[in-house]
Amino acid sequence: MKTFVLNKEKVERKWYLVDAKDKVLGRLASRIALVLQGKHKPSYTPNVDMSDFIVVINAEKIKVTGKKPGNKKYQSHSLYPRGFKEERLEDLLNTKPEEIIKRAVKTMLPFNKLRDRRMKKLKVYKGPEHPHKSVKLEVITLTKNT
C-alpha cells in the first residue's frame, strides 16, 4: 500500500452556511476551526490548506455563557507609548459582533503560515443577509461530529 498525500491542486472546496443564532460562542468557534483546517475530510493533510469556505450569518444573535459579557476583555497594544487598547465583549456585541466570532476562530486555529489563508475563507455577517447568493451553499449544523 502507498500513502496518499494530497497536494493543493487536488483539493475540492465547498461552501458552507452556518447560522449562529442562539449558538454558544466557544462551541461554534471550535467547530468552525475544525472545518477551516479540513479535519472533517477523510483526506486531511496537515501541511496543505484544505479549508472550505464558511459563511456565518446572524452573528449579532450569538450567546456567551456565565459572566463573560461584562468581564471578558479584548486587549491589544500598538507598541507605541500609550498604545494600549481594551474593549469589553459587551461593547463589541453591540458594535462589531462579527469581529467576536473571527477572533474566537482565529485563536483556535494553529499558529502557522496557513492560519491567515484559512481565515480569509471565513465570512461572517451581522444579520441574516449575505452577498454569496450566487454560490451553492450547503447548510450545516455544527454538532459534536460536524
Over its length of 146 residues, how does the chain's per-residue pLDDT go in tens digits? 787 778 888 888 999 999 999 999 999 999 999 999 999 988 888 888 988 999 999 999 999 999 998 899 999 999 999 999 999 999 999 999 999 999 999 999 999 999 999 999 999 999 999 999 999 999 988 766 54
* DSSP letter (8 states) at residue 96: -
**51 within some domain:** yes
Backbone angles phi, psi at 18, to 5 degrees: -120, 130
In a domain, 83, yes or no: no
Q: Which domain holds residue 103?
A: 13-65+97-139
Residue 88 Ramachandran class (φ > 0 left, ψ -120 to 50 alpha, else beta): beta
Q: How many domains does the chain have?
A: 1
In CATH, what number is assigned to the domain containing residue 55? 3.90.1180.10
In a domain, residue 111? The reply is yes
